Amino acid sequence: MLASNLPKSPFFPTRYVPVSPSFHITCSVSQLQSAAEAVNGRVAERNEIRLGLPSKGRMAADTLDLLKDCQLSVKHVNPRQYVAQIPQLSDLEVWFQRPKDIVRKLLSGDLDLGIAGFDTVSEYGEGNEDLIIVHDALDYGDCRLSLAIPKYGIFENINSLTELAQMPQWTKEKPLRVATGFTYLGPKFMKDNGLNHVSFSTADGALEAAPAMGIADAILDLVSSGTTLKENNLKEIDGGVVLQSQAVLVASKKSLIQRKSALDTTHEILERLEAHLRAQGQFMVTANMRGNSAAEVAERVLSQPSLSGLQGPTISPVFCKSGGQIAADYYAIVICVPKKALYKSVQQLRAIGGSGVLISPLTYIFDEETPRWRELLTKLGL
């Protein structure tokens, strides 16, 4: 296959394009510069902002649920189409893609924003400085990329990465064989931790079977609960976790710098995400309490450890009409309480004279300024 016949795609590796098992075409500097100019051109010439979302699986469903909770419901009229809209963001297009393609298209300039697992961003982004994490904890898709070895045989008494590295069995001729789909993070992790005699192989399907079949000595894979590892007589080891992962909002740095509209849209999405995620598990508690003054009531409330709220209780007079006169004999107390402290807070309110306690879940908590927004501007040099 001649170089001139290669498909023009931004997803071919920039280092080389495989043509046959023994021959590669090396990209010249001018070709790389041309590709970079093409990326910048694509970013600049588009008017719409493009958001990449996972197209299938649990990650896709959880992403749509999160956006819906943030009042950013995705309008997907035809499920066979890969493009959709978010009516609240008129200049935004949603593109459903595989998570790894979201990362690749962010780098190629075909997407501006995306949601994917941090493991996917790290693996396919390969440390590229144009990828910038906008929100690093969307609170779903939790897992870890971890090294696992058999519980039996020569590994029976091996419980740490250090012990694994010191095993005399691994030589240049007979390296530690690791089955994994993470062909960038795997070798980098091993090299960074001093394991020099390691070979990697990729395998389709469940990697947990590889050691038992004799295909590999260890596996490097995503782990959630660890149950599947245990059921296949595998174990994680100390120091063997490559990274902790969950869903993240990621963006093209070039796009945010070059296009104010992309930055403004990112700001709104980030504000909505932050406000919703901060409110999760929080409840607004309202109660009435007799008192001579707001300050006296506040002193009683703040004497209880679970009643401080986010910044302190809000206390306001409750006006009642008695004997033809209006007086403020009661004060209303409003505080924000986490779910785990809810019942204790109600008990403490009652103990200091609170009554008529009302509880309602919170949907959003907006800060004066979203902390991650300031962090993002710093990363962008703005």
Query: Do 133 and 255 belong to one domain?
Result: yes
Using alpha carbons, select from 349, 216, 231 the residue that is nearest to residue 285. Answer: 349
Residues with pLDDT less than 70, the chain: 1-45, 204
Amino acid found at 364? Y
**Structural domain span for residue 197:** 143-245
- Long-range pairs, 203-206, Cβ under 8 A, ≥24: 203/179
Residue 55 is predicted with a pLDDT of 95
User: What whole-number distance in Å separates Cα of residue 180 and Cα of residue 149?
Assistant: 12
CATH of the domain at 55: 3.40.190.10
**Would you say the C-alpha torsion 227, 232, 235, 241 has a positive or negative sign?**
negative
Query: Is beta strand 218-223 parallel, antiparallel or unpaired with respect to 176-180?
Result: parallel
Total number of domains in the chain: 3
User: What is the model's pTM?
Assistant: 0.82
42-59 per-position pLDDT tens digit: 555 678 999 999 999 999
pLDDT at 286: 94
Look at residue 101 in the predicted model and tell me its pLDDT: 98
The pLDDT score that the predictor gives to residue 367 is 87
Considering the domain architecture, whether residues 221 and 355 belong to the same structural domain is answered as no
Nearest CA-CA partner of 308 in 318, 300, 316:
300
Distance CA 312, CA 62 (A): 34
Q: Are residues 241 and 158 in the same domain?
A: yes
